[in-house]
Amino acid sequence: MLYALNVLISLIALATVIVIWRAPETEAWLWRAREGTPIMASFKLTLARSLRWFDDYYVVGDMGEGAFVIGEPLYGQCNFSYLITGSQRALLFDTGPGVRDISPVVRALTLLPVEVLPSHLHFDHTGNLHHFDAVALPDLPALHAQAHDGVFSLGLYQSLGFMEGFERRPFRVHHWLKGGSEIDLGERRLQLVNVPGHTPESVVLVDRSANRVYAGDFIYPSDIYAFLPGANLSDYAASARRVEAMVDDQTQILGAHGCDRPPLVDVPTLSRSDVRALAATLELAANSAGPLGSGWFPRVIPVNERMTLLATYPWMAR
């Protein structure tokens, strides 16, 4: 009996260590247990003047400089995707979770050929990739290894769609884009910048002529997720410092999630000072293995009046 008790205690201790060490994956499954289906808003929304309803789900806005915003305020994560047009072709940056097909919205906004680039591979940005023929991904060895005969299959924790019951759909990769390269749309050029941290494959797009950064989940107003599988605080901090050095005080930084001031829905726009504040907070979190902010997992750390960092511990990075 003593032997059996020791074995039981050892197994419990081992399970506890694994749960603590792999808290990001544990949290993903807890999210699945809490939700399991797409989270939808339950209150009446008010649109900013720059936005209008496209149908009973999507909102759109003309941002000038050849850019349109496509929002999903009825979806609980309030995703925003961006369609940037040139004289020859267009680029759709992110596609939302796939609650609805985004392609009719895109086709209503431009007749140009459209290439699609996700800012990263979480489910709420890749849910409509399979509706497009021309999909681009960052030219990274780890992503190449996931493509077979040109078809890319999302990993379970790379996508995380199981948390809300979204299916992982394979898609064909049309184009691999190197970090630092320019995407020529015809009289409009976008620079692709790798910004690992939120996920290893995260990227932003820089439009220097419009002085804009399309930021994906690198930064947005609200809770910044730096605790899910694949997040790395040190990489994230370095990426934030790199972006801060690339922009000026007039740069518009456009995030992928809004609705941070309900019921008002507006384009999630931030500035260089917000990037600076996020970088400082990320550096603090990356260099602190002990108590910081509130809560155990994720650690809840204030950034400024518009953002809160939800962080792992440094030793959880892989």
Q: Which whole number is the average pLDDT over 123-144? A: 98
Q: Is the pLDDT of residue 9 over 90?
A: no
Q: Is the pLDDT of residue 49 over 50?
A: yes
Is there a contact between 278 and 224 (Cβ–Cβ < 8 Å)?
A: yes
**Sheet of strand 79-85, all strands in order from the earlier edge strand to the far edge:** 52-53, 59-64, 67-72, 79-85, 90-93, 114-117
Expressed as residue numbers, the domain containing 120 is 2-316
pLDDT band for position 289 (50/70/90)? confident
pLDDT band for position 133 (50/70/90)? very high
Q: Is the pLDDT of residue 112 over 80?
A: yes
Q: Which whole number is the average pLDDT over 133-150? A: 97
> Which tens digits make up the pLDDT trace of 38-47?
989 888 899 9
What pLDDT was estimated at residue 15? 44
Lowest mean pLDDT among 138-142, 286-290, 299-303: 286-290
| pLDDT above 90 as % of the chain | 84
CA–CA dist 57, 271 (Å, integer): 28
What pLDDT was estimated at residue 3? 60
More confident residue, 4 or 90: 90
> Which tens digits make up the pLDDT trace of 150-196?
999 999 999 999 999 999 999 999 999 999 999 999 999 999 999 99
CATH of the domain at 288: 3.60.15.10
Q: Is the pLDDT of residue 34 over 90?
A: yes
What pLDDT was estimated at residue 275? 98
Q: Is the pLDDT of residue 14 over 60?
A: no
Q: How many structural domains is the chain composed of?
A: 1
Q: Which whole number is the average pLDDT over 234-244? A: 98
pLDDT band for position 198 (50/70/90)? very high
